[in-house]
Amino acid sequence: MIPGDNLQAVIRLKNRALATSGNYRKFYVENDTKYSHTIDPRTGYPARSSLLSATILADDCATADGIATACMVIGKDKTIEFLDRHPEFEGFLIYSDEAGNFKTWASETLKSYISE
């Protein structure tokens, strides 16, 4: 089974754009360390976090895509803080916990639009 093959949620949209960025398919492993394809511009190295996927809703797709990619760089906790401060965006995150289990998080305004 390929990680990310299973459908995690269905999000109903109306007059919104959605983009997802993730590292669950595009990565490589070297010496037992997983490296994402997303580069952290602060370091020039692959971003490393427990965040596997960030889905962002915005008014246009280019903005949603940029924010989703930035979320993959800043990680789960900072993404949640960012979304709490920016109600113009909504988000659905997939991450791994300390035991390696898949978990999800959704912004409050998005929850009513999700079918899991």
pLDDT one-digit tens code per residue, 95-111: 988 887 889 999 998 88
Whether residue 4 is contained in a domain is answered as: no
| pLDDT above 70 (res 49) | yes
Whether residue 99 is contained in a domain is answered as: yes
Check if the beta carbon of residue 52 is closer than 8 Å to that of residue 22.
Answer: yes
Check if the beta carbon of residue 61 is closer than 8 Å to that of residue 25.
Answer: no
Whether residue 78 is contained in a domain is answered as: yes
| pLDDT above 70 (res 30) | no
Whether residue 28 is contained in a domain is answered as: yes
Q: What is the domain-level CATH number for residue 37?
A: 3.10.520.10
CA torsion sign, 68 to 80 to 28 to 26? Answer: negative
For residue 78, the enclosing domain spans 11-115
Return d(Cα 111, Cα 114) in angstroms, integer. 5
Return d(Cα 95, Cα 87) in angstroms, integer. 21
Q: How many domains does the chain have?
A: 1
Query: Region 17-36: what's the mean pLDDT?
Result: 71
Closest CA to 11 of 72, 54, 57, 52: 57
